[in-house]
A and B are shown apart, each in its own frame.
Chain A
Amino acid sequence: MRVRPDSSLTAQFPVTPSFAAQQLHSAAPDTWGRRLLRKLDGPFDQVFGAGDSPLRHLGALGVFFFGLLCVSGFYLYAVLDTSATGAYRSIDQLTRDGVSLGGLMRSTHRYAADAMVLCTLLHLAREWLLGRFRGFRWFSWLTGVPLLVLMFTSGIGGFWLNWDQLGQFSALATAEWLDRWPIFASPLTRNFLTAGAVSDRLFSLFVFVHIGVALLLLLGLWFHVQRISRADVLPPRRLMLGTGLSLLMLATLMPVVSQAPADSSAVPSRLPIDWFVLFSHPLMYATGPAVLWLVFALGLGVLLALPLLRQRQPVPVAVVDPAHCNGCRRCFDDCPYAAVTMVAHAGGVRGREMAQVDADLCASCGICVGACPSSTPFRGSERLVTGIDLPQTPINQLRSDLRRSLQAHEPGTAVVVFGCDHGARINTLADASTIPFSITCIGMLPPSFVEYALRDGAAAVLVTGCGARGCEFRLGSLWAAGRLSGNREPHLRRSVAGEGPELVWAERGEEDRVKAAIARLRGQTGNGVNDQRSGREL
């Protein structure tokens, strides 16, 4: 349990924290992957809006397509004749007579599977480019990798149920791949040698591979999101509607039809292969089963080993001070990674709770600090001690730095900018009348600091962060916006929130937007920002 025994953070963690821009120390590395994604996100954000961009909901889209697969799969299973002789006919007739409900279900089932594979692979690539596989995220990464195996296993098995030439080709190719090693006493391939070898019992195995493994996938998904609170399991409604209707349109325009029935006496001449799911079969016939095993083992090994490679120095996690924790549960509610739990208070008061931080889950984002009502800078104590704090950047330091910086400026002349280490680089904006404070996540900012800055002489306050869908710590920007607008506790006082601090969501590379907002603040009234400040103080 991470509980601070006394209020002396600096004694426990001998670091010299500072929020001053000139001494900024925790800016996120701007890798080529992040730069690439920003370039890709830009046009999609413009078209869909940042909140609805499919590139920012790839994992959730994968789950949505999985849902479509389940719905259409229920229908198909109801009409499927699970026998070697009846399977082909039962599926083929769904699309034989033109557009029908069965045909739509069948085509949607196939296209949803393709879309799921596409979105899942893009989701994997995106998280890799963002470096989200190490540190506290290792669990989500490692539980996601096996889902790839389950997804392809279930997907490939689905082609076998429709016992046409494509299904037969896929089943045979899979059997030849598995037979590369003496896993089974008799080669699996012998089950497909002749028409007589394919039995009804074999179809029970096919059903298990397709549906049983899909159920395992569902279970795996549950594990995958275990360390994420308020996981976006489904994408926004507009995105579901858009992609769902698109797939229905595709299913209508290009219905999926069966190939000729399976025939073990001849090799199919040309097969319209589904490259999303079945790409491994041509790869194996081009290189050999051993090479495909090598690619499979190496790919899986590299993905599983990624969290172990290039480990960063562990960052001290949030620490609870029982003396200042009143058990309000706000940090428990706001933590994006379920790192905070509530336990019986260390003080022994019956019925009273206090927060407890699980060091393995904590991302050191500081969102809990921003959620804590004890983090208000208006407290009279010389040293600001809050209920939960980050040792490396304690909230007291932010207040001290803010107070010192404002004292160095004429009252009503400086614009205070609160930003985050992962968004626009606000430290580059420091000048004679701009005081930037970059914190780990904008969700770490207690909203009362805005009012405190204004009362202490700031002409105006600007708050910036990565944006709702691009937040490095998932929910920081969302919570900050809610608190500043008065819709989430702890909220900014209504009298201050009414006029509102300037909010600008700007990602790395969008510093000009912040600069423009500062300029706008300065020129808002004829008398400049002084009038704005005096108005706010009223």
Chain B
Amino acid sequence: MSGNQSTGARAIAGQIVLYGLFILFIGVFSRWPSYQSLAPDRALVKLSFSHHGKPVSDCHQASAAELAKLPPNMRAPVRCPRERSPVTVELDVDGALVYRHVALPSGISRDGAASVYHRLEVPAGLHRVQVRLADDARVPGFAYVRDATLTLAPAQILVIDFDSAKGGITLQ
């Protein structure tokens, strides 16, 4: 075998090796090592809602003087504030407060929905969960309270939401 042939053979062998390493690298790291986002003995609680709080204050009857200052087409006798109340939520797991958040209404005029998303890992098994939610700044205390005792399987996701059509706080 001449020197040129030998060099050519070595180059081809080198290319085969390098192409092999290339696809090996791609093939391996496109799937390995596998990722476990949650330990095997844990469950996940997701607390999330998007909810309009009650108006921050009551509507009131506009006086004649107030109405006179307004253009004729805007002289509604009852004046209601646009701004909504912040929504306060608390979550107890097994009697301990694990999360508390005051969600402000969205929007420049604070008249949009207040939103929350929070994820919480808990050990799988039996848990007593209490969720409290207040959405009216005029009323002290929590207007909605939901108590539940439930068993969470490993890797199970418990979603805590708020749906006024379904009576308030929902667990699913």
Contact = CB atoms under 8 A, between A and B. Distances in A.
B30 A111 contact: yes
Nearest to B116: A187
A242 B19 contact: yes
Contact of B106 (A182, A249, A275): A182
Contact of B159 (A48, A176, A194, A271): A194
- Secondary structure at the A interface, as helix, strand, loop or mixed, is helix
B40 A269 contact: yes
Nearest to B161: A193
A264 B153 CA distance: 14
B94 to A, nearest CB: 20
Interface string A162-203: 000000010000001001001001110110011000000000
Contact of A242 (B15, B30, B115): B15
Contacts of B18: 44, 47-48, 54
A523 to B, nearest CB: 21
B14 A271 contact: no
Interface string B96-133: 00000000001100001101110100000000000000
B30 A243 contact: no
Contacts of B155: 266-269
Interface residues of A, number: 48
Given A190-B117, A242-B19, A246-B23, A114 B35 contact: no
A118 B24 CA distance: 13
Contacts of A147: none
B11 interface: yes
A267 B172 CA distance: 14
Nearest to A254: B27
A253 B29 CA distance: 15
A270 interface: yes
A114 B30 contact: yes
A282 interface: yes
A92 to B, nearest CB: 16
Given A187-B50, A193-B46, A276-B29, A271 B35 contact: yes
Contacts of A110: 30
Contacts of A360: none
B73 interface: no
A224 B32 CA distance: 33
B4 interface: no
Q: Which 5 A-B pairs have the closest CB atoms?
A: A47-B14, A272-B31, A250-B23, A187-B117, A273-B35
Interface in A78-120: 110-111, 114-115, 118
Contacts of B31: 272-274
B36 A46 contact: no
Nearest to A271: B35
Contacts of A54: 18
Nearest to A270: B34
Contacts of A381: none
Interface string A289-330: 000000000000000000000000000000000000000000
B50 A267 contact: no
Given A47-B18, A189-B117, A190-B117, A276 B30 contact: yes
B19 A267 contact: no
B26 interface: yes
Contacts, number: 118
A186 B117 CA distance: 9
Contacts of B32: 272
A47 B30 contact: no
A161 interface: no
10 contacts: A179-B117, A185-B115, A194-B172, A266-B156, A267-B37, A269-B155, A271-B36, A275-B30, A276-B29, A282-B35
Contact of A185 (B14, B26, B113, B161): B113
A98 B107 CA distance: 53
A265 B19 contact: no
A44 B22 CA distance: 13
Given A246-B19, A275-B30, A268 B37 contact: yes
A54 B20 CA distance: 14
B34 A271 contact: yes
A285 B37 contact: yes
A1 to B, nearest CB: 48
Nearest to B154: A269
B157 interface: yes
Contact of B157 (A176, A187, A265, A281): A265
Given A250-B23, A270-B35, A186 B113 contact: yes
A267 B157 contact: yes
Interface in B1-30: 11, 14-15, 18-20, 22-23, 25-27, 29-30
Given A247-B23, A270-B36, A193 B30 contact: no
Given A186-B50, A246-B19, A269-B40, A118 B34 contact: no
Determine which residue in B19, B23, B116 has the highest number of CB atoms from chain A within 10 A of its CB, and name it.
B23
Contact of A169 (B11, B37, B46): B37
B95 to A, nearest CB: 25
Contacts of B25: 118
B56 interface: no
A338 B37 CA distance: 51
A115 to B, nearest CB: 6
B44 interface: yes
Given A270-B36, A271-B34, A187 B48 contact: yes
Interface string B124-165: 000000000000000000000000000001011101010000
Nearest to B156: A266
B68 interface: no
Residue of B11, B26, B40, B116 most packed against chain A (CB within 10 A): B26
Given A194-B172, A270-B36, A48 B27 contact: no
A124 B66 CA distance: 66
A176 B119 CA distance: 10
B62 interface: no
A35 B141 CA distance: 70
B38 interface: yes
A351 B43 CA distance: 80
A194 B156 CA distance: 13
Contacts of A254: 27
B22 A243 contact: yes
